[in-house]
Amino acid sequence: MIDTQLLQRGIRDERVLTAMARVPRHEFVADSYRAQAYDDNPLPIGEGQTISQPYIVALMLEMLEVSEEDIVLEIGTGSGYQTALLAQLSRHVYSIERHATLAAKAQAALAKLGYTNVTIEVGDGSKGLSAHAPFDGIVVSAAAPDLPPALFEQLKEGGRLVVPVGPTEAQFLQLVTKKEGKPVLSEQIPCRFVPLIGEQGYRA
């Protein structure tokens, strides 16, 4: 996975590559998908949702440039796989998932692997998590119609927000930084994510 899917496609961040070599992706999929856990595609995780393709996860983490001092917010816990990677890379991860069943499974997988710097909440992540804001970095694993204002608001000055923005069929993965309180868009990569369902996302 690391060689053919990440290195060959240009992922260079050593911390990201090391974290991806360490976190056992098969622990985040159902037993029936274990044999395919390291394949080059997303896989079903229940509730009509998917665990993201390894390359996309690596790309998002590389764009986010998390440091070990950072407090990060993740929207769309899903399987908890990317949450585990963020836990390896940062000081603390707050992660929000709208499906309680997925949040519970992710929590169990993360506990089994011994991660203690993760807080998972069930709710609408499109509104962020104001109680713990501001964040050094925010990563959204579901597609938003526009940049969700609450999330930008909860980003620290100089912080980085990685979010897929666009119509439900296809989006651009955007890197937005906060400079003098304003959003600066610096990267746009075509992508396709499940929709962000919520107040500042799409309607259910």
Single out the catalytic residue among 32, 52, 90, 186: 52
28 CB-side CA count, 13 A: 27
DSSP E strands, 35-100:
43-46, 49-51, 71-75, 92-97
Cβ proximity to ligand SAH, 13 vs 82, nearer residue: 82
Active site residue 32: no
CB 14, min distance to ligand SAH, A: 21
Site for ligand SAH in 143-172 (CB under 6 A): none
Which of 19, 25, 37, 52 forms a contact with ligand SAH (CB under 6 A)? Answer: 52
Nearer to ligand SAH by Cβ, of 25 and 178: the residue is 25
100-109 as b/e: b if 16+ CB within 10 A = eebbebbbeb
Q: Which residues pair with 11 in a beta bridge?
A: none
Distance CA 204, CA 195 (A): 9
Q: Is 196 in the site for ligand SAH (CB under 6 A)?
A: yes
For 148-163, letters b (16+ CB in 10 Å) and e give bebbbebbeeebbbbb
- How far CA 70 is from CA of 64, 75, 78, 159, in Å, comes to 11, 16, 21, 10
Q: Which residue is nearest to ligand SAH (CB)?
A: 78
Shortest distance, position 99 Cβ to ligand SAH, whole Å: 5
Please state, in angstroms and rounded to a whole number, the distance separating the CA atoms of residues 81 and 160. Answer: 20
For residues 64-103, which are near ligand SAH according to CB under 6 A? Answer: 75-76, 78-79, 81-82, 96-99, 102
Give the interface segment with ligand SAH, choosing from 10-18, 111-119, 166-174, 193-201 (CB under 6 A): 193-201
- Footprint on this chain of ligand SAH (rule: CB under 6 A): 45, 49-52, 75-76, 78-79, 81-82, 96-99, 102, 124-126, 141-142, 194, 196-198, 201
The catalytic site residues sit at 52
